[in-house]
Amino acid sequence: MRYDYMILDVFSDTPFGGNQLAVLTDARGLTRDGMQAVAREFNFAESTFVLPPDDPACARKVRIFTPAVELPFAGHPTVGTACALAMSGQFAPGEILLEEGVGPIPVTIAKDGEKYSARLRLTREPQHFDPPSAEDMAAILTLNASDITDLFSASVGVNFTYVQLRSREAVDQAQLDLDAWRRRLANHPASQIYVFAGELADGAALYSRMFGPGFGIAEDPATGAAAAAIVGVAASRVGSLNLSIEQGVRMGRASFISASAVGEAGKVRSIEVGGSSAFVAQGSIEVPDRFVDSV
């Protein structure tokens, strides 16, 4: 059976930057194994599958797959799928509610001329985990422990270990040692790694990279779920703030993410993450019958 798809570059306002996303705009009939097989076939960091919602309050249900696993939530797939739904004429710009594994996600879609952007909103506190040691993370990233200035593990639906480094140069120098990751971090609850330089303060600009070997992602050009958790952690420390995040530069896919959070007295009231999406391609993919149930 053939399924229509769109390809967008998310967190970029021009094609061939940002993070690639394949969106099957009507995935009815695809089995879970079928969705995983399609995600492996595209082999982007994530692919999304749009379905009728189970919750009538939501506009659509969105399932998110990396080449290896299904995720309950992710930022660039949420932003990009919302933009794809608007580009394809299914919804006008404005707020829609998308049903994901973590629950309903409000997303506001905007159009400026021919350019589309979207901003998701979460009303959840970041979940915290005991982080690994600086020595373990230095070994995994092929760095010195003295390069690390802060270390924490957190999640708003997808778990990351955050490693703050002393400079952009140190971020670029990081190299994932996969054997060390398997020995020291693979079984940790936050085994995906987000390295960054910059201060967690209002108006700050962060420079980041993300390694997701547990998700089948060698390196991610833009990671909205990680941006959501890091701005939430920052808000729990310093109060309300806005961050701009640059990612994917070393990969040649520069991505620009806007993140903000409202916090007071150590509590986080809301988190927002947004950015642009650029249309790249559309077409259809033939899915073998064994991956399709009757619609």
Q: What is the pLDDT of residues 157-195, one digit of tens each?
A: 999 999 999 999 999 999 999 999 999 999 999 999 999
User: Hey, how many other C-beta atoms are within 10 angstroms of the C-beta on 42?
Assistant: 18
pLDDT digits (tens, 9 = 90+) for 247-292: 999 999 999 999 999 999 899 999 999 999 999 999 999 999 999 9
Share of the chain above pLDDT 90, in %: 98
Q: C-alpha dihedral over 278, 283, 286, 291, to 10 degrees?
A: 40
pLDDT tens-digit series, residues 266-276:
999 999 999 99
CATH top class, domain 127-270: alpha beta
| Angle formed at CA 255 by CA 117 and CA 172, multiple of 5 degrees | 165
Average pLDDT over every residue of 65-94: 97
Whether residue 295 has pLDDT greater than 90: no
Distance of alpha carbon 26 from alpha carbon 188, whole angstroms: 36
Distances (CA, A) of 104 to 43, 57, 212: 26, 9, 25
The answer to whether 20 and 46 have CB atoms below 8 angstroms apart is: no
Interacting residues of 109 by C-beta distance below 8 A, sequence separation 6+: 82, 83, 85, 86, 91, 93, 94, 95, 96, 116, 117, 118
Q: Which CATH superfamily is domain 2-123+278-291 in?
A: Diaminopimelate Epimerase; Chain A, domain 1 (3.10.310.10)
Our answer to whether residue 41 is catalytic in this structure is no
pLDDT of 101 above 70: yes
Set 41, 46, 125, 264: catalytic member? 46
pLDDT over threshold 60, residue 108: yes
Q: How far apart are CA 59 and CA 98, in angstroms?
A: 6
- Note the Cα 268 to chain centre separation in Å: 20
Placement of tokens 């020995």 in the chain: 183
Secondary structure percentages of the chain, helix, strand, coil, to 5: 25, 45, 35
Q: How many residues does the chain have?
A: 295
Axis-axis angle for helices 75-87, 224-238 (nearest 10): 120
How far, in Å, CA of 191 to CA of 177, rounded?
Answer: 13
Distance between CA 222 and CA 34 in Å, rounded?
A: 25
Q: Is the pLDDT of residue 294 over 80?
A: no
Are 32 and 39 in contact, with CB atoms under 8 Å apart? Answer: no
Q: What mean pLDDT comes out for the span 232-250?
A: 97
What integer pLDDT is reported at residue 147 of this predicted model? 97
Mean pLDDT of the 219-245 span: 97
Name the residue ranges covered by the structural domains of the chain: 2-123+278-291, 127-270
Mean pLDDT of 48-75: 97
Q: Give per-residue burial for 270-292: e unless 16+ CB within 10 Å, then b.
A: bbbbbbbbbbbeeeeeebeeebe
Average pLDDT over every residue of 217-230: 97
Among 41, 37, 44, smallest CA distance to 7 is for 44
What percentage of the chain exceeds 70 in pLDDT? 99
2-123+278-291 and 127-270, same CATH topology: yes
In tens, the pLDDT along 5-46 reads: 999 999 999 999 999 999 999 999 999 999 999 999 999 999
